[in-house]
């Protein structure tokens, strides 16, 4: 599946840092007898916060890396059962064990036996809950990004379809009493002359059309045709060259040649240059 083969990028470093900081504060302050304001002026709080932040960030990064690895090899939609089992095993249980081992080292460093502290009773359950929530976040984020990719793909397909469908394949033109289906690709330009509108082909044939130029323009592919001015719509393939005029205007030379100059106003000049350079 194209959308899922494309690697999902979480790009959430700042999120992980913030979550690690919040988790560190919760772990340090949870069950503490001191008020929050008393903790803020305590050196012990900041020392514990820093060490807890490091541990929390390592655990969150472990879940992050595990999730990326599993995303590549165990698709949520195609290998659901295996993915759930592995996500629980190495996304929750393994980080929980890591958290316990890191905490054991932490307490041992300060001369405490972790079994004689409140860690297992208070802190460890909080850590496990946070790890579960973190996995839920990555699961939700995964499907959210899939939805985003799907929406972009649909928009791209829709735009491509519109570009493909926009523009008539033929124009019904008139020659005397005859109504003739004229292929669009044979049209050099469409112009207004007197009280009528005409199509001129690359073979220098002129045909009458009954629609006003504004209506004709709406039916043409704007990548192939450009409204040079109020009197002329030109085909990209008919454009030979253009020359600068005073005040930022342009003169467009086309094939077959026109009786009147095709002048592009200063206002339309920029759009024309972008169109001709596509």
pLDDT at 235: 95
Residue 250 has pLDDT above 60, yes or no: yes
**What is the torsional sign of CA 240, 244, 248, 253?**
negative
234/221 Cα distance (integer angstroms): 11
- Of the listed ranges 164-173, 176-185, 197-206, 236-245, the least confidently predicted one is 164-173
Q: In angstroms, how far is CA 154 from the centroid of its own chain?
A: 12
Please name the residue that has the structure tokens 């026109």: 258
Radius of gyration for the alpha carbons in the chain, expressed in angstroms and rounded: 35
pLDDT of residue 168: 60
Strands 232-235 and 239-244: unpaired
What 3-state DSSP class applies to 232?
A: strand
Tell me the pLDDT tens digit for each residue of 111-153.
889 988 888 888 888 889 989 999 999 999 888 888 888 888 7
Other C-beta atoms closer than 10 Å to the C-beta of 53 total: 19
Structural domain boundaries in the chain: 2-164, 170-276
Higher pLDDT residue, 15 or 29? 15
Strand order in the sheet with 187-193: 178-183, 170-175, 206-209, 196-201, 187-193, 232-235, 225-227
How many percent of the chain have pLDDT more than 90? 45
| Helix (H) or strand (E) run with residue 178 in it | strand 178-183
Q: Residue 75 and residue 277: Cα distance in Å, rounded?
A: 43
CATH number for the segment(s) 170-276: 2.40.50.1020
Q: Is the pTM of this model over 0.75?
A: no
Scanning the structure block, which residue is given the tokens 């596509």?
278
Closest CA to 182 of 190, 197, 164, 170: 170
Q: What DSSP line would sit under 197-214, residue for residue?
A: EEEEETTS-EEEE-S-HH
Q: What is the mean pLDDT of residues 48-70?
A: 89
Q: What is the pLDDT of residues 263-273, one digit of tens each?
A: 999 999 999 99
What average pLDDT does range 218-245 have in this prediction?
93
Cα 85 to Cα 76, 88, 203: the distances in Å are 11, 5, 71
Tokens of 55: 């541990």
- Residue where the block lists tokens 């493909």: 164
Using DSSP, how many helices (H) and how many strands (E) does the chain show? 9, 10
- Identify whether the C-beta of residue 21 lies closer than 8 Å to the C-beta of residue 46: no
Average pLDDT of span 182-196? 92
Question: Once rounded to an integer, what is the mean pLDDT over residues 27-44?
Answer: 73
- Residues 257, 173: Cα–Cα separation, whole Å: 21
């Amino acid at each position: 599946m194209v959308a899922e083969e494309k690697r999902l990028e979480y790009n959430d470093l700042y999120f992980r840092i913030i979550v690690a900081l919040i988790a560190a504060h919760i772990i340090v302050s949870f069950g503490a007898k001191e008020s929050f304001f008393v903790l803020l002026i305590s050196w012990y709080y900041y020392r514990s916060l820093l060490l807890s932040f490091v541990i929390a960030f390592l655990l969150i990064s472990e879940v992050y890396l595990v999730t990326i690895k599993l995303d590549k090899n165990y698709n949520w939609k195609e290998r659901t059962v295996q993915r759930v089992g592995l996500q629980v095993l190495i996304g929750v249980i393994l980080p929980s064990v890591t958290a316990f081992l890191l905490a054991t080292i932490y307490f041992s460093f300060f001369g405490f036996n972790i079994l004689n502290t409140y860690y297992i009773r208070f802190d460890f359950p909080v850590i496990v809950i946070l790890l579960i929530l973190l996995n839920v976040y990555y699961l939700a984020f995964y499907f959210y990004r899939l939805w985003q990719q799907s929406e972009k793909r649909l928009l791209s397909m829709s735009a491509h379809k519109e570009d493909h469908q926009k523009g008539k394949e033929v124009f019904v033109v008139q020659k005397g009493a005859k109504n003739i289906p004229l292929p669009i690709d044979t049209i050099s330009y469409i112009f207004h002359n007197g009280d009528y509108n005409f199509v001129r082909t690359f073979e220098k044939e002129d045909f009458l059309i009954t629609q006003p130029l504004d209506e004709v323009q709406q039916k043409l592919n704007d990548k192939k045709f450009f409204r040079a001015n109020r009197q002329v719509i030109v085909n990209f393939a008919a454009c030979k060259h253009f020359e600068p005029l005073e005040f930022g205007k342009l003169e467009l030379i086309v094939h077959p040649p026109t009786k009147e100059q095709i002048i592009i106003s200063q206002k339309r000049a920029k759009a024309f240059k972008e169109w001709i350079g596509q």
